[in-house]
Structure 1
Amino acid sequence: MRLVLAFAIALWTSAALAVKVTYTNKHYYHFDVDGNAIDSTNGKVEWVKDQYFWIAEPDSCGADVCDKISYSSPDLTNWYYNGPLFNLTTNMNVCSGFGSCSRPKVVYNEKTKKYVLYGFASVTGATPNIPVFTSDQLTKGYTFAGRMIPDYHPSGYGVEDLGLAVIDGKGYVTWTGFNLTAALTQPLVEAGGDFPVTPASKNLVDGLVESPDLFKRGDYYYMVGSGTCAFCTGTTTLAYRSKSPFGPWKRQIVDNNNTCGGQAMGVMTVPSSSTSIQGNSYVYHADAFHTAPVGQHFTLPKGHGFWPLSFNHDGSIQRIDCSPTTKFIIDAPPATAKVPSTGRATTAADGSGNYGDYWPETGLLTQRYLYQTWTSSTSRNLTEIRVNLACNSPVSNRIAITVFSFRDENELISPFFKWNVLGSLTFGQDSSSLLPGFKVKRVPVNKAVKAGDKLGIALAFPGPLVPTNSLPYAYLLQDTTGTRTNHKLYELKRGHVSRDGLTASQSPVKEVEGRELKWYATVG
């Protein structure tokens, strides 16, 4: 089987107006159009051919070898989940060993009209190599094409933390060695033969570095990566620049506060549109492990940070501003590919919204029960509600979600919760039904409601006492201060039953002022 590794890239222009994309430092959680948090570890966002493409490994997998998945977006705001890129079962032997086809990357080969996917996986005892897959479609159908054998692989070395780029019509692969003491850049040349393909050039970038990513701006090539980090809550961002992709390189540290609590995943080159006067934008992307709410090594329900880069006259990169309120605005051309921009969450009748600045908290069940209320905006059939939750438990960890209606607040917070149950769901009876990442949990309802009805969602344990071995569920919150919303959140501290106050007249169910869960309701 032959795969030509020479690339030609077409310049992209658009007559469409650029869209304004705003990145805010406190906005770490991004969602697909159905409301699920983006399920990504070791992923990268890039413009591929004619759309914004987020390729990743799913947080929620938990196995030694996981699917490689992707999302597409028309505007860097609305993300559509595409599913797995290839059949993992039939390619398990290809992705076995250290790496498991990790850090997947895709580029388009204009010459062969195929999409090319690289991931790193080294079978124990074998020569370090990079599995290569190709497809006629960006988002699915990849088949194994062969292995690229790096030309530099001394004893104890290998291929890890893969990067892939097309620059000025040429393809480049970047990686670090297993010992993380050097990064390499190699051109992908036309071999004219079958696999294995062995490129003929090498280049070392000294220093401890992980996840190297290559891009070009003006006359300079840049390799951006992170310090050594095993899913840690922040590490240094390193940048190397040179007027040649093979050095010599000049090194600098470009971040504040250890990449704002994350680890480098790469730099997205956002092409200039015909209406933009700023040229290309370069957006740095990191897995924000510091946002993972459950702690220890459970990093699955984390968020992601994006920071447009600014450059000095000498080509150096300005330091990243980690201030929580800092905003960055870029011009981005809309995708020309047909990518769905709406889904259940974006068209929901009621909800907290799909674009808020959400943050995670934990302690649901073990410290508190929560009750999210709202006023129905429509008179129709309430088909379901969905709420974002996360939990990491190897055993049963039950939780009950109850959808209800109520007459007024006094009855809601009165003893024994005077409400009318519309629908309910208990899950977590076994570990397979739990939620490692902030995906939405669906509760079917199918009850008629009227505009103005007071409705709510209760999150509690399905029994009188929470087992002592229960683990907490995590949830997402946003600030609603000053929004005049009719959505209110209440909490009941675990084990708090009696009324409060000097006259014992205050309900133990308290409003959490200015806060709202991530949720939505659909009607039909």
Structure 2
Amino acid sequence: MLNKLIAVASLSLVVKCASVPRSDAGTQKYATWLNFGEDLLDGHDGLTPHPTQPFLYGQPLYPITVDGNGREQFEGHLSYYEGRYWLHAATWGCGKVWVYAAPPPNSSYPIVTPQAPGDYGEDGNCGVKTFSSPDMTNWTLENFYQPESANVTKPLVRYSAATGQYVMFMGGPATSFYVTTGPSPAGPWADPPSLLQGEHLSHDFDIAQDANGTHYIVSDIFEGIDLTPTGVLAVPVWPIWVQELAPNLTSTVGTNSTVQLVRTAAQLLNNTDGGSQGLSLEAIGFFYNEDFDMWYIIAGKTCQNCDGYIYYLYSKNGPFGPYEDGGYISGDGCGGQNKGVMQLPSVGGSSFYAGNLLYRTSATDLVYNASIWHADNSQAIASANYYPFKYSSDGLLLPLECEASFQLPLAPNITETPSPPKQYQPDCRIRNWQNITVTFDHPKNVTEMEFPVFQRTDNLGPTSNAGYKMDGPLEVTFNFANGSSWTQAWLASNISWTPQKVHVDLDGASVSSIVMGTNATNGCYGTLVEENEGGSTYCGKNLVTGVVDSTPKAQLYVYKY
């Protein structure tokens, strides 16, 4: 019924897209942004989703940087400063795992499971990576922030004109958010971070800016547990607050006139005082669109690492409201969960994009009422998608279109259109009973070789994973044209959970095939594939049954031969 209501509503509205330039249209350049792609492996990727949460809009991708490593954009936030695009993202590459606190019927608010110690600071904290791009297509790693005493997530960067410093906001402890400052969008960031000073600050947040440069923060803070929507599983409930930030952006102003409770949890759940029945909203976003002089709060269904509806409120009376219910703009979250709003410049003004966390799922995930309640504990190879907001003639949001790709209008200083990016797809089939073989049509002379690999231990259910690293090495065997072979092995402790390059010196040897295998028993090793351009075949082989999965559309992605 929800999808039908959305479809009917969209037919009755006149579309106006803020992302379409209003002037100088002939000078506008565009980048191609990829959210989904074709399944190059025809389902043979070792990452089969749970049947209740299939990929409805295309195959999830994993982008790369200009140096051939995976671009970690899960929990990623886009911005534009100093003539460049910036992506700040929390990385899960150290083996971070997020589990449900307890299985039903004794469910409670989820906690982070204890992590194996590492060289990344506090246990379980992998840190924040900063990437930059001149054209929203070619990205470079600029900074890796790993504070020693804070578990940081959900990074977002804003500029304080009052101090001349950039401020990075991050998810923090139960009573606030972390903030750290630096001289550029790439830092270097102060360590340790501080706590954002003020009240009503916890859980999810986003920051919007008005036409005068004043910043406002929206947050959904934990109020309690509600059992009504499910009858069994505990559902956290979150009232929504909006507050003005001080000019230095490291505290709220904190006066009666600069703090507003937008919705109580009761209003959202029980339809009191104009609220909406049965809503438990989190994963919040916030923006101001000067075209319509309207403020928007975007939020997703409360759940743990899963897809769900996206709902919005809007105000025509400033950031503190009152806010009216705009309704649903997606019934399934485009296959993911709402995650903030991105504001980027174009020739005609600002464009706004819905951030979206595209979670990985598997057969062992927690299901309730025929839908995922808690997805995989590790989201290291998950990604984030972005969808352009579109509007009716009076500024109301239209349903998201969940585009597999779209043309993103670039900043006015960009005078050339970048080439469209290639699609890269994870393949995690290297197990003790299965290997991957690359066979060259003609032996290939190789001096050195670099290609990304990753590890992923098995998801055992909502409360545990099969360890924090694989229990055996990754072994890559090079078969040479003269009939000899040589094997290079990497310990699990030297392999990231996100695609990162390994290097092999082969001294100009003539390689006829490459076989990737392992004796590990608790998960899979993986790599990335791209569209086959000819010259090799790529397949997986079940070592028990002898069955070969032929994947003619794919080839191994190699950064350097």
* TM-score in terms of structure 2 length: 0.68
Counterpart mapping for 1:11-160 below 5 A: 18-26=29-37, 28-61=61-94, 62=96, 63-85=123-145, 88-89=147-148, 92=149, 95=150, 100-122=151-173, 128-143=175-190, 147-151=195-199, 153=200, 158-160=201-203
Task: Assess if the C-alpha contact under 8 Å between 2:439 and 2:512 holds in 1.
Answer: yes
Amino acid of the residue matched to residue 155 of structure 2?
P
Amino acid of the residue matched to residue 472 of structure 1?
C
SS in 1 for 2:303: coil
How far off its partner does 1:146 sit? 5.0
How far off its partner does 1:245 sit? 1.0
Equivalent residue, structure 1, for 2:282:
210
SS in 2 for 1:36: coil
How far off its partner does 1:58 sit? 0.8
Where structure 2 has 5 or more consecutive residues not aligned to the other structure, the ranges are 1-23, 38-59, 97-122, 224-236, 269-279, 366-375, 458-466
- CA deviation digits over 1:403-425, x for unaligned, max 9? 34448xxxxxxxxxxx443x532
Amino acid of the residue matched to residue 512 of structure 1?
T
Q: Structure 1 residues 24 and 41 mapped into 2: Cα distance closer, same or farther (>3 Å)?
A: closer
Amino acid of the residue matched to residue 137 of structure 1?
S
Amino acid of the residue matched to residue 186 of structure 1?
Q
Task: Assess if the C-alpha contact under 8 Å between 2:244 and 2:252 holds in 1.
Answer: no
Structure 1 residue 397 corresponds to structure 2 residue 456: no
How far off its partner does 1:332 sit? 0.9
How far off its partner does 1:115 sit? 0.7
Equivalent residue, structure 2, for 1:290:
360
Structure 1 residue 362 corresponds to structure 2 residue 428: yes
- CA deviation digits over 1:50-73, x for unaligned, max 9? 321111211113233342221111
Amino acid of the residue matched to residue 139 of structure 2?
W
Equivalent residue, structure 1, for 2:524:
472
Q: How many Å separate the matches in 2 of 1:358 and 1:473?
A: 16
Q: Structure 1 residues 287 and 293 mapped into 2: Cα distance closer, same or farther (>3 Å)?
A: farther
Q: Structure 1 residues 358 and 147 mapped into 2: Cα distance closer, same or farther (>3 Å)?
A: closer
User: Structure with the greater relative contact order (CA < 8 A, sep ≥ 6): 1 or 2?
Assistant: 2
SS in 1 for 2:360: helix
Q: Structure 1 residues 269 and 59 mapped into 2: Cα distance closer, same or farther (>3 Å)?
A: same
Q: How many Å separate the matches in 2 of 1:475 and 1:195?
A: 41
Q: Structure 1 residues 101 and 52 mapped into 2: Cα distance closer, same or farther (>3 Å)?
A: same
Q: Structure 1 residues 167 and 458 mapped into 2: Cα distance closer, same or farther (>3 Å)?
A: farther
SS in 1 for 2:475: strand
Structure 1 residue 425 corresponds to structure 2 residue 465: no
Counterpart mapping for 1:303-322 below 5 A: 303-322=383-402
* TM-score in terms of structure 1 length: 0.72
Q: Structure 1 residues 265 and 510 mapped into 2: Cα distance closer, same or farther (>3 Å)?
A: closer
Equivalent residue, structure 2, for 1:486:
535
Q: Structure 1 residues 255 and 389 mapped into 2: Cα distance closer, same or farther (>3 Å)?
A: farther
Equivalent residue, structure 1, for 2:338:
264
The match for 1:457 among 514, 519, 524 is 514
Task: Assess if the C-alpha contact under 8 Å between 1:56 and 1:70 holds in 2.
Answer: yes
Amino acid of the residue matched to residue 487 of structure 2?
S
Equivalent residue, structure 1, for 2:43:
none
How far off its partner does 1:439 sit? 2.5
Task: Assess if the C-alpha contact under 8 Å between 1:48 and 1:107 holds in 2.
Answer: no
Equivalent residue, structure 1, for 2:102:
none
SS in 2 for 1:178: coil
Equivalent residue, structure 1, for 2:254:
199
Q: Structure 1 residues 284 and 83 mapped into 2: Cα distance closer, same or farther (>3 Å)?
A: same
SS in 2 for 1:271: strand
Equivalent residue, structure 2, for 1:388:
453
Look at both structures and tell me which one has the larger radius of gyration over its CA atoms.
1
- CA deviation digits over 1:97-137, x for unaligned, max 9? xxx343222111223221112224237xxxx3333322112
Q: How many Å separate the matches in 1 of 2:296 and 2:222?
A: 22
The match for 1:447 among 507, 530, 553 is 507
Q: How many Å separate the matches in 2 of 1:121 and 1:266?
A: 16
Q: Structure 1 residues 47 and 160 mapped into 2: Cα distance closer, same or farther (>3 Å)?
A: same
How far off its partner does 1:371 sit? 0.9
Task: Assess if the C-alpha contact under 8 Å between 2:437 and 2:513 holds in 1.
Answer: yes
Structure 1 residue 227 corresponds to structure 2 residue 301: yes
Equivalent residue, structure 1, for 2:309:
236
How far off its partner does 1:292 sit? 7.6
- CA deviation digits over 1:17-54, x for unaligned, max 9? 62333435336322112222222443311223432111
Q: How many Å separate the matches in 1 of 2:542 and 2:171?
A: 47
Equivalent residue, structure 1, for 2:220:
176
Q: How many Å separate the matches in 1 of 2:326 and 2:27?
A: 37
Task: Assess if the C-alpha contact under 8 Å between 1:370 and 1:492 holds in 2.
Answer: yes
Counterpart mapping for 1:487-502 below 5 A: 487-496=536-545
Amino acid of the residue matched to residue 249 of structure 1?
Y
Q: How many Å separate the matches in 2 of 1:77 and 1:231?
A: 27
SS in 1 for 2:61: coil
- CA deviation digits over 1:375-403, x for unaligned, max 9? 68997x62223133332244522221123
Q: CA RMSD in A?
A: 3.5
Counterpart mapping for 1:323-362 below 5 A: 326-333=404-411, 355-362=421-428
Q: Structure 1 residues 251 and 358 mapped into 2: Cα distance closer, same or farther (>3 Å)?
A: farther
Structure 1 residue 522 corresponds to structure 2 residue 560: yes
Amino acid of the residue matched to residue 516 of structure 1?
Q
Q: Structure 1 residues 291 and 356 mapped into 2: Cα distance closer, same or farther (>3 Å)?
A: farther
How far off its partner does 1:224 sit? 1.7
Q: How many Å separate the matches in 2 of 1:424 and 1:174?
A: 54
Q: How many Å separate the matches in 2 of 1:288 and 1:133?
A: 27
How far off its partner does 1:279 sit? 4.1
How far off its partner does 1:362 sit? 3.5
Q: How many Å separate the matches in 2 of 1:294 and 1:425?
A: 33
How far off its partner does 1:88 sit? 1.1
How far off its partner does 1:247 sit? 1.3
How far off its partner does 1:290 sit? 3.5
Q: How many Å separate the matches in 1 of 2:362 and 2:161?
A: 39
Task: Assess if the C-alpha contact under 8 Å between 2:328 and 2:399 holds in 1.
Answer: yes
Task: Indicate the percent of aligned positions where both proteins have the same amino acid.
Answer: 18
Q: Structure 1 residues 367 and 513 mapped into 2: Cα distance closer, same or farther (>3 Å)?
A: farther
Task: Assess if the C-alpha contact under 8 Å between 1:391 and 1:435 holds in 2.
Answer: no
Equivalent residue, structure 2, for 1:186:
243
Task: Assess if the C-alpha contact under 8 Å between 1:52 and 1:335 holds in 2.
Answer: no
How far off its partner does 1:454 sit? 5.9
Q: How many Å separate the matches in 2 of 1:76 and 1:376?
A: 37
How far off its partner does 1:228 sit? 1.0
